[in-house]
Amino acid sequence: MPAIIDMQHMRYLNLFESVARVSTRFCFKYNNAIFFCVPKQLVRKAIGENGANVRRVSQILGKKIKIIPIPNEPYHVRPFIESIVSPVPFKDLEIRGNEIILSASTQSKAALIGRDKVRLFEMQKIISDFFNKEFKIV
C-alpha cells in the first residue's frame, strides 16, 4: 500500500472525506483522473445517491473522479487493473513471481502505454505501491 502521501493527495483525501463521509488513505492519479480506493462495502456510500458525491468532488476539483474497491488479496489484481484502465480492454494478465504481465492487442497496448509512456509509468507506480511487484505490458 502507498506509504507516502504528498500534500496534494492529502488535500484530495480531505475533500473526499468531507463530501462522501468515507475515510480512506488511498488516492492516486491515472490518465488525468483521480482514483479513490475505499473498502468494498463502502463503495456505494462513497459514490452517493445517483453519483452525487462523485459529481460534487469532480466539480470542485475540475477532474474526473473514480471510486474503486481496495484490493485485499493477490487475486484481486485483475479486477483492480480492469477498473483502472477501463474502457481499454486487455487480453490476459499473468502474475509471474515478482512481476505482473499484461498482454493486449496493438491498439489497446498503445492506449495503455500512452504518449511518452506516461500511463505505463503511472501504472507501474500504482502496482508497485499496492502489490509491491513490477508491471510490464506485452
- Of 47, 69, 91, the last residue of a domain is 69
Q: Does 84 reside within a domain?
A: yes
Q: Show Cβ contacts of residue 108 under 8 Å, excluding neighbours closer than 6 positions.
A: 88, 89, 90, 91
Going from the C-alpha of 94 to that of each of 31, 82, 105, the distances in angstroms are 23, 13, 15
- Domain span at residue 120 reads 74-137
pTM for the full predicted model: 0.90
The pLDDT mean for the chain works out to 92
Q: Does 85 reside within a domain?
A: yes
Retrieve residue 125's grid coordinates: 507506480
**Amino acid type, 38:** V
**Amino acid type, 75:** Y
Q: What is the pLDDT of residues 77-98, one digit of tens each?
A: 999 999 999 999 999 999 998 9
- Number of separate domains in the chain: 2
The enclosing H or E element of 93 equals: strand 92-96
Residue 1 has pLDDT above 60, yes or no: no
